[in-house]
Amino acid sequence: LYAEGAKPGEVPSDDIHATGLERLQILGEKEGVEVFDLKPLDSSRIGTLADPIKVYSLAPERIIGCTGSPAESHELHWMNLTTEKVRRCPECGS
């Protein structure tokens, strides 16, 4: 994920100047690979402990929003998910 950098006197482009996960995403786009899954989660059902709606993350925590099941059935509720604590939407129970 390291680049050579811009030559002296040149302004670097995004693909040369970017670092870390941003660079990974830019390189993936150049190759036609979607590095991060940006599609919305399944909102056709309510997640349960036996059949949860899984939220994948590279970090041990992630902020998610619930709009209900079916989608848009209630106002957006934000929640902080962690690997240690199971969270449920206070409005729909998903």
CA separation for the pair 21, 19 (Å, rounded): 7
Is 25 labelled as part of a ligand binding site? no
Domain boundaries, the chain: 1-36, 37-93
Is 44 labelled as part of a ligand binding site? no
Is 74 labelled as part of a ligand binding site? yes
Would you say residue 2 has pLDDT above 70? no
Instruction: Tell me what pLDDT residue 19 has.
Output: 85
Instruction: Tell me what pLDDT residue 47 has.
Output: 80
* Structure tokens belonging to residue 51: 């059949």
Task: Output the CA–CA distances (angstroms, integers) from residue 11 to 3, 5, 7, 30, 48, in the order listed.
Answer: 14, 10, 8, 20, 51
Residue type, 44: S
Which pTM was predicted? Answer: 0.54
Average pLDDT of 13-20? 84
- Decide: helix, strand or coil at residue 33: coil
Is 66 labelled as part of a ligand binding site? yes
What is the CATH architecture of 37-93? Sandwich (2.60)
Average pLDDT of 13-25? 86
Average pLDDT of 17-32? 88
Question: What would the pLDDT profile of 31-89 be if each residue is shown by its tens digit?
Answer: 999 888 888 777 778 888 888 878 777 788 888 888 887 778 889 999 988 878 878 88
Measured in residues, the chain has a length of 94
CB atoms within 10 A of CB 94: 20
9 or 44, which is more confident: 9
Classify strands 61-66 and 77-82 as parallel, antiparallel or unpaired. Answer: antiparallel
CA separation for the pair 63, 78 (Å, rounded): 7
